[in-house]
Amino acid sequence: MNPHFLNVSSDPLHHALVALPHGPEFRFIDQLTALVGGKSGAATYRIRGDESFLAGHFPEHPMMPGVILIEAVAQLAGIVAQSDPDHAPLDDLRLTAVRQAKILGAACPGETLFINVTLTARMGHLVQAEGSIVSESNPEAPLLNTSIVLSGRPPETVSVD
């Protein structure tokens, strides 16, 4: 089984994950391990080694690009934001700002990454989050610490006349 596709019957958080607008080939979350809607979430992603971006980054010693680490945090932040019981999901939610990012290590094929996100603020269509990523090989040393902003549009409402 391709680890990019979840086993629906065994993953109670499957619905939140498949709500991501990304196709499976650009999804950097394999499994949600925790979700507190509107507040926080945790997930994993295993770097398989056959991802297309690894062929050129870097051929002799492939590693996951830092911008894709940030994207993984953004995807998890989107799941957390769209699962908020106090706010309707936003349309066209996307990463719109990286306020801060520190890439502190390399993520290589064969490693499992542990992604954690906490929403820190929400104002209208803007969602601010802080996230971090560690690897299973060194869970005490973060690979990434970042602060990001997502934005979307309020859901369209249909008026009944």
The CATH number of the domain holding residue 78 is 3.10.129.10
Look at residue 46 and tell me if it is in a domain: yes
Residue 131 has pLDDT above 80, yes or no: yes
Look at residue 87 and tell me if it is in a domain: yes
> Alpha-carbon distance 90 to 110, whole Å?
35
Look at residue 6 and tell me if it is in a domain: no
Dump pLDDT digits (tens) for 15-58. Answer: 777 778 888 889 999 999 999 999 999 999 999 999 999 999 99
What average pLDDT score do residues 147-158 get?
89
22 is catalytic: no
Q: Which domain does 126 fall in, by range? A: 12-152
> Alpha-carbon distance 122 to 151, whole Å?
10
**Residue whose token pair is 């996100």:** 117
Could you tell me where the DSSP H helices lie in 83-144? none
Q: Which residue would you say has higher pLDDT here, 3 or 12?
A: 12
Look at residue 3 and tell me if it is in a domain: no
Query: What's the pLDDT score for residue 18?
Result: 73
What average pLDDT score do residues 147-154 get?
96
Query: What's the pLDDT score for residue 25?
Result: 87
> Alpha-carbon distance 7 to 123, whole Å?
35
Residue 153 has pLDDT above 70, yes or no: yes
Look at residue 159 and tell me if it is in a domain: no
What average pLDDT score do residues 137-148 get?
96
Domain count, the chain: 1
Q: What are phi and psi of 146, to 5 degrees?
A: -150, 160
Compute the mean pLDDT over every residue in the chain, rounded to the nearest whole number: 89
Look at residue 160 and tell me if it is in a domain: no
Dump pLDDT digits (tens) for 81-129. Answer: 999 999 999 999 999 999 999 999 999 999 999 999 999 999 999 999 9
Given 4, 14, 57, 87, which residue is catalytic?
57
